[in-house]
């Protein structure tokens, strides 16, 4: 159902291959989606799926995981759902380090509703509602996830599709909150307003501006302007929410003489 050249289907293909390679059963897997172009992904799935309200996908997913920690819970969101309308939930899911995998399609605008600017539209770039340039700075989703406490953070693009699958697979296997941000072509809206009307234009932009993490880190800050790192950015093993909750529950029971 997506526009020609959209990156969402590429992400979904990588996710389904990861499910298959990890041997996930449909009965044990829940995919939670928000609103927008990315939110339509669940129409293609035969796992459990929950299509939620705008910006609240992580809140629903948190409830599912808290109720049944054995389930694999994956959350698919756009940049609107994750860090614009849903920014507060994103911050707290990462801080809580709850065992969810969040895959965020960042197309730098609200694509489904006509291309309004979002919280990740880069400063100076254009959209339907900032035709003279965005005066605000775009949020760096990966940096936000890292400082808030996520155990795993990576950035991928449809140009680097095999690496994307590797990152998604690693994120699914990681305990705690894991985030894969996918910089995704939206030729219909974001591309049209930024001189990238065709799919190859958008893919070339991702190819030319995406640097390996190693190369990005060796550059001085001024030389990073306009570029972004692609690959694994954070991989740590801090206790997740359920582990810490169980520890505290044990302490509480001991203090009450119940164990």
Which of 10, 35, 37, 103 is the binder for ligand SF4 (CB under 6 A)?
Answer: 37
Judged by CB, which is closer to ligand SF4: 62, or 109?
109
Given the rule CB under 6 A, which of 17-25, 54-62, 65-73, 107-115 is the region that contacts ligand SF4? 107-115
Judged by CB, which is closer to ligand SF4: 93, or 196?
196
**3-class DSSP string for the chain:** CCCCCCCHHHHHHHHHHHHHHHCCCHHHEEEEECCCCHHHHHHHCCCEEEECCCCCHHHHHHHHHHHCCCCEEEEEEEHHHHHHCCHHHHHHHHHHCCCCEEEEEECCEECCCCCEECCCCCCCCCECCECCCCCCCCCCHHHHHHHHCCCEEEEECHHHHHHHHHHHHHHHHCCCCEEEEEECCCHHHHHHHCCCCCHHHHHHHHHHHEEEHHHHHHCCHHHHCCCEEEEEEEECCCCCHHHHHHHHHHHHHHHCCCC
The CA distance from 254 to 134, in Å, is 56
Asked whether position 77 contacts ligand SF4 by CB under 6 A, the answer is no
Judged by CB, which is closer to ligand SF4: 186, or 196?
186
Given the rule CB under 6 A, which of 51-59, 123-131, 186-194, 224-232 is the region that contacts ligand SF4? 186-194
Which of 66, 91, 112, 234 is the binder for ligand SF4 (CB under 6 A)?
Answer: 112
Binding mask 187-226 for ligand SF4 (x = CB under 6 A): xxx-------------------------------------
Binding mask 126-165 for ligand SF4 (x = CB under 6 A): ----------------------------------------
Asked whether position 3 contacts ligand SF4 by CB under 6 A, the answer is yes
CB of 8 to ligand SF4, least distance (A): 6
Which of 34, 39, 111, 138 is the binder for ligand SF4 (CB under 6 A)?
Answer: 111
The CA distance from 196 to 50, in Å, is 34
CB of 43 to ligand SF4, least distance (A): 13
Interacting residue ranges for ligand SF4, rule: CB under 6 A: 2-3, 6, 8, 37, 107, 111-112, 186-189
């Amino acid at each position: 159902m997506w526009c020609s050249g959209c990156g969402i289907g590429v992400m979904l293909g990588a996710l389904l291959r990861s499910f298959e390679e990890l041997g996930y059963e449909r009965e044990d897997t829940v995919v939670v989606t928000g609103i927008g172009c990315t939110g339509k992904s669940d129409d293609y799935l035969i796992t459990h799926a929950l299509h939620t309200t705008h910006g609240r996908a992580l809140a629903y997913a948190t409830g599912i995981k808290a109720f049944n920690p054995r389930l694999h819970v994956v959350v698919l969101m756009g940049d609107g759902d994750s860090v614009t309308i849903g920014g507060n939930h994103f911050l707290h899911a990462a801080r809580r380090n709850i065992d969810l995998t969040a895959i965020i399609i960042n197309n730098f605008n609200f694509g489904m509703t006509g291309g309004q600017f979002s919280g990740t539209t880069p400063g100076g770039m254009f959209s339907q509602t900032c035709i003279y340039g965005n005066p605000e700075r775009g949020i760096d989703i990966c940096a936000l996830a890292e400082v808030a406490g996520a155990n795993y953070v990576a950035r991928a693009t449809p140009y680097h599709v095999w690496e994307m699958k590797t990152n998604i697979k690693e994120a699914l296997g990681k305990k705690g909150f894991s985030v894969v941000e996918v910089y995704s072509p939206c030729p219909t809206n974001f591309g049209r307003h930024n001189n990238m009307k065709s799919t190859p234009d958008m893919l070339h932009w991702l190819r030319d501006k995406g640097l390996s993490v190693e190369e990005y880190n060796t550059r001085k800050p001024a030389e990073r302007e306009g570029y972004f790192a692609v690959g694994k950015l954070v991989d740590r093993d801090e206790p997740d929410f359920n582990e810490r909750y169980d520890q505290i529950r044990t302490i509480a029971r001991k203090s009450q003489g119940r164990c």
